[in-house]
C-alpha cells in the first residue's frame, strides 16, 4: 500500500522550543518516532515531512495525489491564509485529516478560519501530539474499510 503522507508546515520544526505552553514539549522528531511505531502496529507506512515554504507544501500535496494513500496535514499558519493549499487539497481523492496541536478555536480570532477544513475528511485539534496518532488511526481505519475484500477463489 502507498504510504500515508504526514505533512507539516511552517515553524513546526521549532516544536519543543516554540511556545511550549501552547504546543507542548514534544519535538517534531519525537512525534515522528511515535508515529512510525504506531504505523508499524497498524500495518501502514508513513512519509513524514516538514517545510517552511508554501510552494513546497503545495508540491508535496500534489505529489500525494498519486504517491499517497492518505494525507495528514498540519499546515501551521498557512491553514488560515492559503487559498492555494485549499485548491491543492481539493484536487486529491484521498482521506485527508487536518491536525492542529492547539485548539485553534480557543485562540486569536484570526486562527478561527481554516482553508484546510472544507477540503478535509476530518479535523483534530487541541489534543497536542496525541492528535497526530489519532489521525493516523483514523486514516488507517478509513483505508481498511474501503479496501477491496480479498476473497480466496476457493472460499
Shortest Cβ distance from residue 54 to ligand DQA (Å)?
13
Pick the closer one to ligand DQA by CB: 2 or 102.
102
Residue/partner pairs of 77-81 with CB below 8 Å, 24 or more apart: 77/9, 77/10, 77/11, 78/9, 78/10, 78/54, 78/115, 79/9, 79/104, 79/111, 79/114, 79/115, 79/116, 80/110, 80/111, 80/113, 80/114, 80/115, 81/115
Shortest Cβ distance from residue 144 to ligand DQA (Å)?
27
- Catalytic residue, candidates 23, 78, 115, 132: 23
66 is known as an active-site residue: no
Entry field: residues in the chain: 155
Pick the closer one to ligand DQA by CB: 38 or 80.
80
Shortest Cβ distance from residue 150 to ligand DQA (Å)?
37
Q: List the one residue out of 13, 3, 19, 27 whose CA is nearest residue 57.
A: 13
112 is known as an active-site residue: no
Q: Which set of grid coordinates corresponds to residue 35?
A: 508515529
Binding site for ligand DQA (CB under 6 A): 11, 74, 76-77, 79, 100-102, 104, 111
- Catalytic residue, candidates 78, 100, 115, 132: 100
Pick the closer one to ligand DQA by CB: 77 or 142.
77
The catalytic residue positions are 23, 100
Amino acid at each position: 500500500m502507498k504510504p500515508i503522507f504526514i505533512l507539516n508546515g511552517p515553524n513546526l520544526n521549532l516544536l519543543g522550543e516554540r511556545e511550549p505552553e501552547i504546543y507542548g514539549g514534544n519535538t517534531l522528531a519525537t512525534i515522528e518516532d511515535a508515529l512510525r511505531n504506531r504505523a508499524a502496529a497498524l500495518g501502514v507506512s508513513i512519509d513524514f515531512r516538514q517545510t517552511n515554504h508554501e510552494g513546497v507544501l503545495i508540491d508535496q500535496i500534489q505529489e500525494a495525489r498519486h504517491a499517497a494513500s492518505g494525507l495528514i496535514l498540519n499546515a501551521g499558519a498557512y491553514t488560515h491564509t492559503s487559498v492555494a493549499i485549499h485548491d491543492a487539497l481539493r484536487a486529491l481523492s484521498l482521506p485527508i485529516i487536518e491536525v492542529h496541536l492547539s485548539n485553534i478555536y480557543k485562540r486569536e480570532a484570526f486562527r478561527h478560519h481554516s482553508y484546510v477544513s472544507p477540503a478535509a475528511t476530518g479535523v483534530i485539534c487541541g489534543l497536542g501530539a496525541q492528535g497526530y496518532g489519532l489521525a493516523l488511526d483514523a486514516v488507517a481505519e478509513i483505508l481498511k474499510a474501503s479496501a477491496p475484500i480479498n476473497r480466496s477463489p476457493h472460499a
